[in-house]
Amino acid sequence: MRTESSPSVLRALRNLLERYDLAALPASEYTLFGSAVRALWTRETTANVNVAFVSESSRAQFAAQLTASPFVVSSPVIYSDPTCVLRDADFTVCQIAFHDGEFLIGSHFFEHVAQRLLTVNRISPSRALISLLRTYKYASRGYGIPFPEFLRIIDLLPKDFPELNPEEVARHSGGVVIV
């Protein structure tokens, strides 16, 4: 679903693009997604922005222009089709992106954000641990997950799940820290 946005959301988006040095890149070369884009609509606070690039050359161009920006390019995501960002989001409350001047929004995004409800969209077995740890992060932000949805994630974990030390958990979870 593509949608019109209010002037206040567009102002916040311009500020976000400038803060992370994205304003200099052509809007067709990247897709913003994740909590920073969701925060434009929900007024949640967030500390990071996720960026997917349409090609390795656009990612390299962005990395080359970074100066004193707080943005860190780690594990860059390359998607030639920006709708793949929505398709691959683990939860429906993550199905929002901004690409080439338009917001791309999943069909259940607003409903589930308003309800503070974590519902599984798509989780691959290789990312089940990351999604499981992200449920903890979302719970700390006031989201709830129905037990059957939680079990869907648990069911994707490897059956021979090894005992992990904190460094291994951080490596498998994309750096998520459990306190």
Which of 4-8, 36-40, 63-67, 118-122 is predicted with the least confidence, judged by mean pLDDT?
Answer: 4-8
* Topology given in CATH for the domain delimited by 2-113: Beta Polymerase; domain 2 (3.30.460)
Q: Report the DSSP pairing between strands 96-99 and 77-78.
A: unpaired
Q: Indicate the pTM of the whole model.
A: 0.76
C-alpha 46/C-alpha 122 separation (Å) is 23
Q: Which among 119, 176, 178 has a CA at the least distance from the CA of 153?
A: 119
Read off the pLDDT of residues 105-134 as tens digits, 9 standing for 90 and up.
999 999 999 999 999 999 988 889 889 988
Check if the beta carbon of residue 41 is closer than 8 Å to that of residue 35.
no
C-alpha 101/C-alpha 40 separation (Å) is 14
Residue 68: the pLDDT is 47
Q: Where are the domains of the chain?
A: 2-113, 123-172
- pLDDT category at 177 given cuts 50, 70, 90 is very low
CB-count exposure of residue 140 (10 Å: 0-12, 13-18, 19+): exposed
- pLDDT category at 137 given cuts 50, 70, 90 is confident
Q: How many CB atoms lie within 10 A of CB 32?
A: 24
